[in-house]
Amino acid sequence: MNIYTTLQRGTYHLNNCEDYLFHGNINPHTFVAAVMDGCTMGTDSHLISTLTGKLLRKIVKAKGYDDLRSLVNISPEEHLQDITRQLFAELNALRNQIQLDRNELLTTLLLMVADYKADKAILLVIGDGAISINGHVSIFDRDNKPDYIGYHLSEHFDSWYQRQYRMAFSNLLDISLATDGITSFKPFNPAVAPIDAIRFLLMDQEKSESDEMLNMKCKTLEHVYGMLPTDDLAIVRFLRKNG
């Protein structure tokens, strides 16, 4: 299985990329991936999306150590709830420690746990974004009014978590997570023939022999097709060759 990533600053964002991404593994067959998009109307939104990714890295690394000592098989659903619970607690602790305001806590989150041995995965969707499952794309659009996790850190975790949208799926061959920047590609050279940027980035397997596939595809969109994302973009793509 190959893992590809790209992180691009949108042309409408002059100072910072407000998106971030993370991927890591709990064990050799259980992977965690996430993409985050800080709210443009928030304050220093690049900070909370990045911190969320760093906290996920810490949590998943600790779960990997625990997995080495455990004889219990844990399902993707159980892993997802536990990771989200820990993230909720860590964000609360961070909020209190450095006195973050609500407007400094606004980031979307698409968080996936995939068990390739069991051929099962589950996705938590908080806000906008997209997922591609073997060429079938789902766009999550909250009309730019996501119900950010930062709005709910004072609530009881279990009641909040049960209200969140989760999506379970199997047949893990070609899976991508993306922020909503995936829908923002615009031509800056109208004379060039158009191309479907979503299909090109999330489905097409050209250049898959290179770890830099997605970065190379973004360069192709820019220099060959004259297209750039106007919004920031983060993608994590898992591709299992030959099924």
For residue 225, pLDDT over 50 is answered with yes
Total number of domains in the chain: 1
Q: Is 11 helix (H, G, I), strand (E, B) or coil?
A: coil
**Which is more confident, 71 or 183?**
183
Read off the pLDDT of residues 189-201 as tens digits, 9 standing for 90 and up.
776 778 999 999 9
Neighbours of 162 (CB within 10 A): 9
d(CA 44, CA 39): 9
43, 75 contact by CB (below 8 A): no
Say what percent of the chain tops pLDDT 70.
Answer: 98
**Alpha-carbon distances, residue 136 vs 75, 176, 201 (angstroms):** 24, 10, 13
Per the structure, the complete domain to which residue 6 belongs is given by: 2-239
**What pLDDT sits at residue 242?**
64
- Tokens linked to 188: 């800056």
d(CA 4, CA 215): 9
Read off the pLDDT of residues 17-54 as tens digits, 9 standing for 90 and up.
999 999 999 999 999 999 999 988 888 889 999 999 99
d(CA 161, CA 152): 10
Instruction: CATH number of the domain at 180, please.
Output: 3.60.40.10
Helix (H) or strand (E) holding 27: strand 19-27
| Residue owning tokens 């973009």 | 233
**What pLDDT sits at residue 243?**
45
